[in-house]
Chain A
Amino acid sequence: MGASRFAGRFLIPGGVWLLLFFAVPLGIVLAISFGTTDDLGGAIYGWYPSNYSRVFDPVFLPVLARSVGYALATVALCLLIGYPVAYYIARFGGRRKHALIALVIVPSFVNYLVRTYAWVAILSDEGLANGIPHDVGLSDGGIRFLNTPWAVIGGLVYGYVAFMVLPVYGALDRMDPALIEAGKDLYGSRWQTFRHVMWPTTFQGVLAGCVLVFLPAVGDFVSAQLLGGPDTFMVGNLIQQQFFGAENWPFGAALTTVMMLFLMVWMVFYLRSAAKAAREGAAAAV
């Protein structure tokens, strides 16, 4: 009766908008990435794939590697911190579960810049991180926290840990507590139960959390900029620099494309894993 056709018309406004303002720009990025700059610094189209080989230049390679490294460290820390917290809320939260989870999200409502800047204030030479140990007598002040890799990673962890807690909590909450009891009976030790029962069951949630943390962390430049220094430059800072300083837009576009492709690979891998898990879950239920 034309229900499908009727509905199809509704796809047009949103769909056209997304095509124009999302898909096309990505195409432009790709196109510009093969271009070059003219004498005045403006971007012109052309065929200069050297932009891409420049991305992997020894000058820039450490920046790329560092971004991936920091992001991986962030994921690992988020997991180590987030999993136990999610476990606690899921298993022992009781009626306050929802409130506890909401509390995890609330800090995200403070602007990312302001939150990061708060850490700057705390970790700076005049901040609390120096002040309290000094007052207590543990140090004589002057501990340098800022401008170190750990400050940047710490900032990233702080920014994205909620994205790990939520999916892991979701998976743990949905898990049947009887499974843990069964595991306890079967395996005896806590570690074994975790390894053979909890981890496999919550794996999809963990995977989702890792992806949700990894993807934004790689491209982040705020933490590196505010909490770090020239030694902690990440690819996000590099890209930002191309557009607001070095004025080499084609190279910036090439960097962006490389980063985008790199992340797409992990995204596809994750989607496949999730689809496979969903299929197996449905098959097992049958």
Chain B
Amino acid sequence: MTDTTTSETASVDSRAEVDAAVALEGVWKRFGEQVAVRDMNLTIGRGEFFSMLGPSGCGKTTTLRMIAGFEQPSEGRLLLEGQPVADVPPYRRNVNTVFQGYALFEHLDVFRNVAFGLERKKVEKAEIRRRVGEALELVRLTGRERARPRELSGGMKQRVALARALVNHPAVLLLDEPLGALDLQLRKQMQVELKEIQREVGITFVYVTHDQEEALAVSDRIAVMNEGVIVQCGAPEEVYEKPERPFVAGFIGISNLLEGVVEGGAVRLSGGALASAPVPASCAAGTAVQLSVRPEKIALDELIEDGMVVLSGVVVERVYLGTTTQVIVELAPGVRLVALEQNTYRARSDDRWELGTQVRLGWRPEHGLVLREG
């Protein structure tokens, strides 16, 4: 139910945005003195599973609320399916939300909860019954129509919330940290289910989370946000393997940042060693940078290959995580790297590095990421 506006109000270059489910142009959001969202420009395509990832207070939830209509941008334009929705209230937008606390109506049973949106649109009773049945089947809750929310577990409530939103066939589905209250196993299971459901119904999902693993698992594209700005936006592999800023490298996965200075096609680390690395053209010699290496790209001792950048240090900590063990190596006072010991069937029993042992670690030069602030 998008608002009909005259074509004069749509700018010429928004023709490209007609394909976009959601578009933000120069959007700012201020709360008094505080800036929650800063000059945001964003396009979300139809059928995309798009995530906004960042720490608390980064503006991801505020952005979601603006798309839903609960907040108005202080500046800038917001378009849904190509139409500006500046003064359109939430109940007239073709957008539905799955809330963090589920927000189920306690005085209604599951059927009436899910049917709520359809009843508002005055859909026919028979049609309602059909669509509610479909929605419940989709989230695998068939047969629970008469149950009350208080009789349901967290996971079930989450699915009712999802069905309640999806049954209306919105153009965009907004999900505000929907899995936050669930335990780990259930969360992982629901992540897979959500992804499957999204593929099945083809609706654009806009997902907010602070759990980077979750974002990587479900998204087609991730926008990493900090302090009201999108720091980097791209596919999960891109954001993980090629972070553009130290913040992104640090927020997703372990970043293993080493301070250094550009010297030719390498980085002179603060400890003195020279590490070959893919230095971007924009970094002139002498520029202060940070070199980042993902732990899984680090080889220890005998596993080091020719041509790798090699450093040495002392094992100061081991953290057992089940599938892997983190081996924390101190290269110099205050400078530590995290490497991984795999616990796979290929691991040999003498592939263990005990506390206090001297160890050499290395990585292929192309696995070093040269990052700069700003």
Contact = CB atoms under 8 A, between A and B. Distances in A.
Note whether A and B contact each other (Cβ less than 8 A): yes
A1 interface: yes
A1 B85 CA distance: 13
B51 interface: no
B356 interface: no
A1 B65 CA distance: 13
Interface of B is mostly: loop
Nearest to B89: A1
Interface residues of A, number: 1
Nearest to B72: A1
A2 to B, nearest CB: 9
A6 to B, nearest CB: 11
Contacts of A1: 69-70, 72, 89
A1 B72 CA distance: 8
Interface string B94-130: 0000000000000000000000000000000000000
Contacts of B72: 1
Contacts of B89: 1
Interface string A1-37: 1000000000000000000000000000000000000
A1 B88 CA distance: 10
Nearest to A1: B89
Interface residues of B, number: 4
A46 B70 CA distance: 57
Interface in B29-79: 69-70, 72
Nearest to B70: A1
B97 to A, nearest CB: 15
Nearest to A2: B89
B139 to A, nearest CB: 30
A1 B70 CA distance: 8
A127 B70 CA distance: 70
Interface string B288-309: 0000000000000000000000
A1 B92 CA distance: 13
Contacts of B69: 1
B70 to A, nearest CB: 7
A1 B69 CA distance: 9
Interface in A90-129: none
A73 B70 CA distance: 57
B255 to A, nearest CB: 35
Contacts of B70: 1
Nearest to B87: A1
A134 to B, nearest CB: 63
A76 to B, nearest CB: 48
A170 B72 CA distance: 44
Interface in A178-199: none
B66 to A, nearest CB: 12
Nearest to B71: A1
A60 B89 CA distance: 65
A1 B89 CA distance: 8
A7 to B, nearest CB: 15
Interface string B149-174: 00000000000000000000000000
4 contacts: A1-B69, A1-B70, A1-B72, A1-B89
Q: Lowest 4 A-B CB distances belong to which pairs?
A: A1-B89, A1-B72, A1-B70, A1-B69
